[in-house]
Amino acid sequence: MSKVTIIGGGASGICAAIVLARNNNKVTILERNNMCGKKLLVTGNGRCNYFNEDFSIDHYNSSNKELLENIITEENKKEVLNFFDSIGIIPNIKEGYYYPYSNQAISIKNSLETELKNLNVEIIYNTYVEDITKEDDKFIIKTNNKCYISDKVVVATGSKAYPKTGSEGNFYDILKKLGHNIIKPLPALVQLKANTNYLKEWKGIRTKVTTKLYVDNNFIKEEQGEAQLTDYGISGICIMNLSSLIAKYLDNKKRVAIEINFYNKINNIDSFIKFMDTRNNMLKNRTISELLEGMINYKLANLLIKLSNININSKWSNLTDNDRKTLATNIIKHRLNITGVNSYDKSQTCSGGIDLSEINLKTMESKIVNNLYIIGEILDADGECGGYNLGFCFLTGIKVGSNIK
């Protein structure tokens, strides 16, 4: 029987503890909060979107994406789903998103904690790990309360994202001291900042869009979904899914822009103008503002007309060719220069972290320090919205638990 200490009682740490205890290990969790699974309660707007049917590498980012492909597999997807079956979670699947059938995040947390209790996993709360050293094949774990000695250590501390849940990123330095390389952490799944003078005018608008990411004027990636227009920039799932890449490009001093199509049924300027010609012929005596009614949010339409230097009471037939092209461009190819991303306290996860090339992804054991395992969000892997990050946390927890027997 191995004595295993898990640092962090979040998704990956709890999952690892359960599988480890099932394999007859003596397991202790050191948790800095007064409860485990704190971050689980706020995921999926309190419903806990814990997994996704489309568990594929296309939804993940990493500096070593080719290595990540070895763990994001159909076989491992089944392992995660089997694990949740084993703790009694019945899924409610909506468009591929997995939620507990109760639609309550606390159902996931309670099921995990019940299993921990039944397996006699020791949990020590309000314990902050300050350092780890290794002496004679034993780990010495120094905390704010006392020192613990362990045969094996599993680091499941999370990243720097959303520090209110207890994850502040102190373990990057501890693991660096133990010999690991840290790929620079940056906020991910986070809102974008822009610097232009009309943001206060579109604040509060929610609208369906297609967004395209451009870096140094080169197209990188496209996303669709609902955008939330804010007084600092732009948010929404389709925006946040691009934020991991954007943060890295901005950190490398690249010029980043988002092109927004506010009427994404049409994506060509000439086609939009022809559509408006037809609409104008059908709807007689309408102003530009009235023609756009029902196509685009009223407040947004008037702002885009204003940005095109057109009077909202003008008629489409009275516009010059240049006016029409300018308005069409503002509506379906609206360019927003991105100046930054919001801070860690607004981000759902982080990019960067422990270099995957230093981890045995079959066991999650460090290649640098024997019997040290690193799992979850602190690794250099981040996913899109939709259960991908939690899915990765659960998977890496299962992997380490399955390989220490």
Residues 6+ apart with CB under 8 A from 36: 9, 10, 13, 14, 29, 109, 112, 113, 116, 123
Residues 130 and 197 in one domain: no
Question: Which two three-digit tokens encode residue 238?
Answer: 């389709």
Length of the chain: 405
Residues 181 and 196 in one domain: no
What is the CATH classification number for the domain harbouring 76?
A: 3.50.50.60
In a domain, 347, yes or no: no
Residues 284 and 229 in one domain: yes
Q: How far apart are the first and last CA of the chain?
A: 7
3 state SS of 340: strand
- pTM for the model stands at 0.94
Residues 221 and 282 in one domain: yes
Residues 63 and 171 in one domain: yes
DSSP notation for 226-237: EEEE-SSEEESH
Question: Which two three-digit tokens encode residue 107?
Answer: 């159902």
Residues 281 and 362 in one domain: no
Adjacent-strand bridge partners of 18: none
- The CA distance from 43 to 52, in Å, is 14
Question: Which two three-digit tokens encode residue 282?
Answer: 């059908």
- Apex 230 CA angle, 188 and 349, nearest 5: 15
- The CA distance from 192 to 97, in Å, is 24
Residues 120 and 153 in one domain: yes
Count of beta carbons in the 10 Å neighbourhood of residue 270: 10
Note the pLDDT of residue 166: 66
Note the pLDDT of residue 165: 74
Instruction: Give the residues of the chain that fall short of pLDDT 50.
Output: none
Domain range spanning residue 218?
191-342
3 state SS of 114: helix
Note the pLDDT of residue 290: 96
- The CA distance from 277 to 400, in Å, is 62
- Apex 383 CA angle, 379 and 385, nearest 5: 140
In eight-state DSSP terms, residue 136 is T
- The CA distance from 300 to 1, in Å, is 64
249-289, pLDDT tens digit by residue?
Answer: 999 999 999 999 999 999 999 999 999 999 999 999 999 99
Residues 250 and 362 in one domain: no
Note the pLDDT of residue 16: 98
104-131, pLDDT tens digit by residue?
Answer: 999 999 999 999 999 999 999 999 999 9
Note the pLDDT of residue 168: 73
In a domain, 122, yes or no: yes
Residues 159 and 62 in one domain: yes
Note the pLDDT of residue 164: 75
Adjacent-strand bridge partners of 122: 28
Residues 181 and 197 in one domain: no
User: Do residues 400 and 376 make contact, with C-beta atoms less than 8 angstroms apart?
Assistant: no
Note the pLDDT of residue 395: 98
Note the pLDDT of residue 39: 86
In a domain, 396, yes or no: yes
